[in-house]
Every structure is written in C-alpha cells, then in structure tokens.
C-alpha cells in the first residue's frame, strides 16, 4: 500500500524524497511504500508551524484542551485499527499493541487536564508601587522525533504537553515504523478541525531528522532514540542554541535480594525483559541476584524462558519477532560477544528453526550464566530478548555493579525488607526505579534518564512545564 508521507498546513502532499519501504518483521513482506519528505518539504513543515505558532499560542487554553480530548476520542474509536497496525509494523503481540494504543490515548487525556491549570506567579516588587508577574508561555515550534518501538505512545507523550501549552508541532516518526503515525494523522485530518500548521508530519530517514535539527527553526527538539543519535542531535542543536529533551535508552539492572518472593519476582522480571521482544528502553537488561537465592532464581527463570512460545504476534504467542534485520544483527552480535568472553548460554542463543521462522527477524529468548560485570552483555544495551544473570554477595556489591554504567534510566529492586528497599532507592543512580513490580511508567509521574540515558524528561507536571518558558513582566503602578 502507498501512503503520502507529508502533512503540512492541513494538507496532504506526496513526498518528493526517496521512498521508505516498511516491512512486516514476521515475514519480511512489504506493508507500505511511503514517499518521504524532501529537504524543501521539511523546511515547509517548519515554516508552517512557525506561521501558526502565534495564533495557536493565543487560542484559549480551554479550547486547546478540548482539542486534545477530541484527539483522544479519535484514538479510542479507532483503537483496533491502530493496534493491528502496530502488530504488523512493529511485531508487537496483539495485547501489547492494544496496551500501547490505550497508553497513547491516556497521554492526551492527562495533558488535556492541564489546559486551565498552568500557573504563573505574582511576586512583590523590590521598590514601592511595583509587582512582578511571571507568565508561563509556549516555546513556539516543537520538533518531535519519535522512535520505532513505541511509535504511537511516544508520539502522544510529546504531542499532549506540546499542544496544550500552546506550541505547534512538526512530527518525524521513525522510518522503520511510520505507518501507525501516518494512519493516526489521517484520522485526525478526517475527523477533527485542527488549525492549519498546528500539527505537521514529515516521514523520512536520518536526513530529515538532521534537517529539522540543523535548521534552527524549532524552539525545542524532543527526541527519543539511540544514545549516539541523541548526542548528534544535541551537537547539531547547540549551533543554534535550540533546546533539547533527550530520552536515550538504558541498561536497567534488576536487583533480587535474598528475601525476594520468587513466585512474584520471576514473572515480573520475565515480563520486564521480554515485553516487545525486549525492545523497551526501561527493560530489565541485567539481573543481579543474591547468591543465597541465585541457583533457585536461575533455575526458575530459565524454565520460564524455555516455556515462552515464539510465534505470530497477532495470535497467542508469548514473543514476537524483532523489528528489523538491523536489530536482529545487533542481538546476534551481542550474544556472540558474550559467548566469546566466556558467558554460558543456559537457554536460547540462536535463531529458531522451523518453517514458521524461515523469514522474518526471529530470535530465541536467551539466558546467560557465568557472567561477569565487565562483559559487554552487561554494559551495552542489547534491546532484545537476552538476559544475563550475575550473582552478588551483599547490597554494596549489587549497588556498585548496578551503578557502574553509562546509563541511568531505569532500575528494579525486589525485596521484602524496608531498609534494603530504601537504601537501594537512595543509592541507585537512575531516574526511574521500580520496587517489587515490572515495567510501565505512569502518565502523571516523571520519566527521565540520568547520565547518558538522556536529559530533560517527560510526563506529569514537570513534563508539561518543559514545553513552556517564563516571561517576566515588571508592573509599576504607583
């Protein structure tokens, strides 16, 4: 199927750039060919957003909130269509795809509630007859560069706060999974009356993203993706002093204390490692287990992994394919490096055999034992269904291994002991910590990485305020 990949000023246009071919990761069949945006069309999208910015900023906040609610209604009404699209282009299991669509809807509904809650301040002046007014105002134009693993949820995570605070937006989805975003824009265009230029779309690869960032026409670039790409975004944005918000992945440790309830801990880590085939930035990428329970945990976890069914994500399988050949190559390279460095494969470690896996980007869920903290499998983001397990002797040892990382997005701790949990939360150098539960952040909390996992952050009050700036007015009335 062919799609137009450019939506500018409320009008669909055929892209003048190279076509983007979208493949089904289950069988490598062609889902869509999308004509991507040319450099000139990227510039046109930014210019349209700039023209629309003053009018949208002056639109009453309540009206902006009502638009977000109507956008959420559109997602809700077409949730099955959008979920099916995610199953096909991302390879998500049907239940996970439905969950992502619901998550996308919730981002819009939550942020809509900020329409009449954005507050400034009035301060006393430091001279007689004066007051100081601090106003929260929009930044202007927001460029939202979205990832392939949660294309709709991350899109709405950025759209919600950007639009409700009065910014206009240019969206660039990942060239790997753009179809769901194009479909959602089509639905918005058909069912809503969005002012021209407020919401714009350009489909394209790295060149389109580079054009957006280097142009200097965006007032904020919010990017979710790979660490090295995020660094390039920050470097390019710095030339024009463009603000950036970066969420760049992680290498989340899961610390299993000796008193952890393994009946709950094993399933929780299994889910935290294998949701979306392990292609989640908050995934439990390394598991640190107290030696008192190391053997029992490992036996239970390996048995649970072996029981997982790999297959059609639209059916009842527990695990679907990886998203692309590039991601499959990355996982295979990580496994090969771990074996070469001396780690022991406890299960998996290869592509599955059988007629159902002759094509597509399939990889067996894999568990490693005999792992040391210095191995690459413990230090570099795998982004696939691979679990290294390491034993530790005491909490200081576990915390040292967990914090010895360039990443600082998410971490997990499983324990019944209050002092162990509190010390772990206090000393872990991560922006987001899960205690006795699996992954899944809340729309009203805050999602932000430390270290090389990013800067800025999304969600909740502080995520909303990141899309604003403060204007100060001194009022002399005497």
Q: 52: Cβ–Cβ under 8 A, 6 or more apart, which residues?
A: 9, 168, 195, 196, 197, 198
How far from 110 is each of 68, 72, 102, 236, 433, CA to CA, in Å? 9, 10, 12, 32, 22
Of the candidates 156, 176, 189, the one whose C-alpha atom is nearest the C-alpha of residue 32 is 176
Q: Say if strands 220-224 and 243-247 run parallel, antiparallel, or are unpaired.
A: parallel
In this structure, the number of other CB atoms found within 10 A of the CB of residue 422 comes to 13
- Which residues does the annotation mark as catalytic? 247
Q: Say if strands 19-23 and 168-172 run parallel, antiparallel, or are unpaired.
A: unpaired
Helix/strand/coil percent split, the chain, to 5: 40, 25, 35
In this structure, the number of other CB atoms found within 10 A of the CB of residue 476 comes to 10
C-alpha 230/C-alpha 222 separation (Å) is 10
Of the candidates 280, 11, 241, the one whose C-alpha atom is nearest the C-alpha of residue 153 is 280
Of the candidates 285, 259, 177, 274, the one whose C-alpha atom is nearest the C-alpha of residue 224 is 177
C-alpha 223/C-alpha 275 separation (Å) is 22
C-alpha 181/C-alpha 402 separation (Å) is 36
Three-class secondary structure of residue 201 per DSSP? strand
Contact 427, 409 (CB under 8 A): no
CA of residue 457 relative to chain centroid, distance: 11
Of the candidates 233, 273, 230, 221, the one whose C-alpha atom is nearest the C-alpha of residue 248 is 230
Looking from the CA of 299 toward its CB, the CA atoms found within 13 Å total 4
Burial per residue of 195-233, b for 16 or more beta-carbon CB atoms within 10 angstroms, e otherwise: eebbbbbbbbbebbbbbbbebebbbbbbbbbebebbebb
């Amino acid at each position: 199927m062919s799609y137009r990949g450019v939506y500018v000023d409320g009008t669909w246009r055929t892209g003048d750039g190279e076509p983007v071919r979208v493949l089904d990761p289950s069988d490598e069949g062609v889902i869509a060919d999308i004509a991507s945006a040319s450099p000139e069309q990227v510039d046109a999208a930014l210019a349209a957003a700039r023209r629309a910015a003053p009018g949208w900023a002056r639109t009453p906040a309540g009206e902006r909130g009502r638009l977000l609610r109507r956008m959420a209604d559109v997602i809700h009404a077409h949730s099955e269509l959008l979920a099916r699209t995610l199953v096909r282009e991302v390879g998500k299991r049907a239940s996970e795809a439905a969950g992502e669509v619901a998550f996308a809807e919730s981002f819009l509904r939550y942020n809509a509630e900020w329409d009449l809650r954005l507050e400034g301040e009035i301060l006393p002046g430091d001279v007689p007859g004066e007051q100081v007014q601090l106003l929260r105002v929009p930044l202007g134009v927001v460029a939202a560069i979205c990832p392939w693993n949660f294309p709709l949820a991350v899109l709405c995570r950025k759209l919600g706060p950007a639009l409700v605070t009065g910014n206009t937006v240019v969206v660039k989805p990942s060239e790997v999974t753009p179809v769901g975003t194009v479909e959602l824009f089509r639905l918005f265009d058909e069912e809503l009356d969005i002012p021209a230029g407020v919401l714009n779309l350009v489909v394209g690869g790295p060149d389109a993203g580079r054009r957006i960032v280097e142009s200097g026409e965006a007032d904020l670039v919010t990017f979710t993706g790979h660490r090295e790409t995020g660094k390039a975004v920050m470097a390019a944005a710095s030339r024009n002093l463009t603000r950036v918000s970066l969420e760049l992945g992680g290498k989340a440790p899961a610390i299993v204390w000796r008193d952890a309830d393994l009946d709950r801990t094993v399933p929780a880590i299994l889910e935290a490692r294998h949701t979306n085939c392990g292609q989640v930035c908050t995934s439990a990428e390394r598991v640190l287990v107290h030696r008192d329970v190391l053997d029992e945990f490992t036996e239970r976890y390996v048995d649970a992994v072996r029981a997982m069914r790999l297959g059609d994500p639209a059916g009842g399988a527990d695990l679907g394919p990886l998203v692309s050949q590039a991601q499959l190559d990355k996982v295979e390279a990580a496994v090969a490096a771990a074996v070469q460095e001396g780690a022991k494969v406890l299960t998996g470690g290869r592509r599955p055999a059988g007629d159902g896996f002759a094509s597509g980007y399939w990889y067996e869920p894999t568990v490693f034992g005999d792992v040391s903290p210095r191995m690459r499998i413990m230090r570099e983001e795998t982004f696939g269904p691979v679990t290294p397990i390491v034993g530790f002797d005491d909490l200081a040892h576990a915390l040292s291994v967990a914090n010895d990382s360039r990443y600082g997005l998410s971490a997990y701790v499983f324990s019944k002991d209050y002092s162990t949990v509190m010390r772990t939360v206090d000393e872990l150098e991560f922006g987001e910590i899960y205690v006795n539960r699996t992954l899944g952040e809340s729309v009203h909390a805050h999602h932000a990485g430390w270290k090389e996992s990013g800067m800025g952050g999304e969600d909740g009050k502080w995520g909303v305020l990141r899309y604003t700036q403060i204007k100060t007015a001194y009022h002399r009335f005497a």
